[in-house]
Amino acid sequence: MPDQVVALGAVTVLGVLEQAYFSLQVIYARRKYSVSPPATAGPPEFDRIFRAQANCSEYFPIFITVLWTSGVFFSQGLSAVCGLLYLYGRLSYFRGYSESAQGRLAPLYFCAQVLWVLIGFSSVGVLLTFCRVYLDVDLVQELCSALDLL
Amino acid sequence: MPDQVVALGAVTVLGVLEQAYFSLQVIYARRKYSVSPPATAGPPEFDRIFRAQANCSEYFPIFITVLWTSGVFFSQGLSAVCGLLYLYGRLSYFRGYSESAQGRLAPLYFCAQVLWVLIGFSSVGVLLTFCRVYLDVDLVQELCSALDLL
Amino acid sequence: MPDQVVALGAVTVLGVLEQAYFSLQVIYARRKYSVSPPATAGPPEFDRIFRAQANCSEYFPIFITVLWTSGVFFSQGLSAVCGLLYLYGRLSYFRGYSESAQGRLAPLYFCAQVLWVLIGFSSVGVLLTFCRVYLDVDLVQELCSALDLL
């Protein structure tokens, strides 16, 4: 089993390392701007870094979930590529947001688009598997036959 | 492997779509009540929608985790049904909380109960598997034999 | 399949129960210090409990992710032991933070160290599997042969 999902595992470990990097940035920002826990608000520079990390953390479980459903039910290779694009987008988002609220927008839209692609892959993969397992219908084959008839 | 967990995969994808819907509602509310990031506080109407989404996001990883442990170690069918009930409960919660802090309570209790059922299923499933694998004891069979003796 | 990951399943269920315990503590604190939702700020005693739970929730998906990647790609037994240590650390963190902001530090560092060990295990496991599957190189065997030659 591990052999068939190792590319997903690799992207997952990279994603965890990225989250660790974001968490460290918040710790540095807490020191730099003297915002001690449990406080979560400070100067705008701190707030942006804090919110950037919070937003990345919030989306991390969604990302891991769709990465794996897409990889297991649709295609490991395509999912892993999308996963790498998403992680790159999140890094740009974090850096952009750290500089200005405006700077977060472009990479945020990019990340959202990659997530939608992974959601689309997952939906198609789950639907095809569902029809094959429970309805005994192979939609891919049906489609190919239909195209042959044309 | 995917064939044996496709119902869990389907509930998972639905759950992700629901989270995407909640996130969009927060974006609309940010525009409507003019609360620009990184600010997270605004009029009570905005605060309720923001907290509703934050609460759903916070519980999403717990939900996905128990959905899968329950489905893999106990019963895929029962877990998928509980998963659908939970997602329905979360939708009611989000809508109720958007209207009033009071309106969140009934669906929140319902969601908590469904989560406890999934935790119960997971615990029983893991315990039975654990005894079978590490202690070589089949608790279900032992119980049936004991009942036969009565 | 479930048989080979049951120890990971057991640690996962324990982790979910611990999160449920933390959530209940926040509910009790909300009543005790009269902080009604959607408000999330109150006296420092409440803020500390609220932030302790928020921090544990934020790290829960990371923990579950590395527990499983480490368990599947490296070693189930070692991962499960690290998982138990992490859950114990989180309990100490929650209790320490409830009493004082200072009290959270020692267990927080402990939890971070355990997470880094799990990330290390995951990285090594994924790397070895990756080389074996895609490059047809068994790094462990290569290393043993190299050591034999010395």
CATH number, domain of C58, equals 1.20.120.550
pLDDT of residue C89: 97
Q: Which H or E element spans position A95? A: helix A76-99
pLDDT of residue B148: 82
Tokens in use for C7? 């120890």
- Is the pLDDT at C126 greater than 90, yes or no? yes
Choose from A37-46, A51-60, C33-42, C114-123 the range with maximum mean pLDDT.
Answer: C114-123
Whole-angstrom Cα Rg for chain A = 20
Query: What pLDDT band is residue A90 in, cutting at 50, 70 and 90?
Result: very high
Compute the distance between CA of residue C106 and CA of residue C104 in angstroms, rounded to an integer.
6
Query: What pLDDT band is residue B137 in, cutting at 50, 70 and 90?
Result: confident
C119: nearest CA partner in chain A? A13
Q: How many structural domains compose chain C?
A: 1
pLDDT of residue A139: 84
Compute the distance between CA of residue B115 and CA of residue B5 in angstroms, rounded to an integer.
19
Which among B36, B37, B61 has CB closest to A61? B61
End-to-end CA distance of chain A: 40
Query: What pLDDT band is residue C137 in, cutting at 50, 70 and 90?
Result: confident
B39 Cβ under 8 Å from any chain C Cβ: no
Burial per residue of A94-106, b for 16 or more beta-carbon CB atoms within 10 angstroms, e otherwise: bebbbeebebbee
- Is the pLDDT at B38 greater than 80, yes or no? no
Cis amide leading into B38 (omega within 30) = yes
Percent pLDDT > 90 in chain C is 75
Total Cβ atoms within 10 A of residue C134: 12
- Is the pLDDT at C81 greater than 80, yes or no? yes
* pLDDT tens-digit readout, B80-117: 999 999 999 999 999 999 999 888 899 999 999 999 99
| Chain mean pLDDT for chain B | 92
**Residues A52, A93: contact at Cβ < 8 Å?**
yes
Active site annotation includes A104:
yes
Torsion, Cα of C102, A28, C52, A87 (10° steps): -160
pLDDT of residue A146: 84
pLDDT of residue B88: 97
- φ, ψ of residue B123 to 5 degrees: the values are -60, -50
- Is the pLDDT at A51 greater than 80, yes or no? yes
Rounded mean pLDDT, C18-25 = 95
Residues from chain C that touch A16, judged by Cβ atoms under 8 A, are 62, 65-66, 69, 119, 122
**Residues B90, B115: contact at Cβ < 8 Å?**
no
Q: How far is CA B109 from the centre of its chain?
A: 12
ipTM summary value? 0.88
Query: What pLDDT band is residue A67 in, cutting at 50, 70 and 90?
Result: very high
- Is the pLDDT at C69 greater than 90, yes or no? yes
Query: What pLDDT band is residue A37 in, cutting at 50, 70 and 90?
Result: confident
| Chain mean pLDDT for chain C | 92
Positive or negative torsion for Cα A80, A83, A87, A93: positive
Rounded mean pLDDT, A109-119 = 97
State whether B1 and A72 contact (CB < 8 Å): yes
Compute the distance between CA of residue C136 and CA of residue C143 in angstroms, rounded to an integer.
15
Q: Is residue A11 part of a domain?
A: yes
Percent pLDDT > 70 in chain B is 99
Residues with Cβ within 8 Å of residue B148, at least 6 apart in sequence: none
- Is the pLDDT at C37 greater than 80, yes or no? no
Q: Exactly one of A30, A31, A51, A95 is catalytic; which is it?
A: A31
CA distance B7 to chain C (A): 17
CA distance C150 to chain A (A): 31
CA distance A84 to chain B (A): 20
- Is the pLDDT at C142 greater than 90, yes or no? no
State whether A130 and B6 contact (CB < 8 Å): yes
Containing structural domain, residue A59: 2-122
Positive or negative torsion for Cα C96, C57, C116, A33: negative
- Is the pLDDT at B18 greater than 80, yes or no? yes
Query: What pLDDT band is residue C143 in, cutting at 50, 70 and 90?
Result: confident
Scanning the structure block, which residue is given the tokens 């974001």? A22
Which among B73, B101, B115 has CB closest to C2? B73
Length of chain A: 150
- Is the pLDDT at C39 greater than 90, yes or no? no
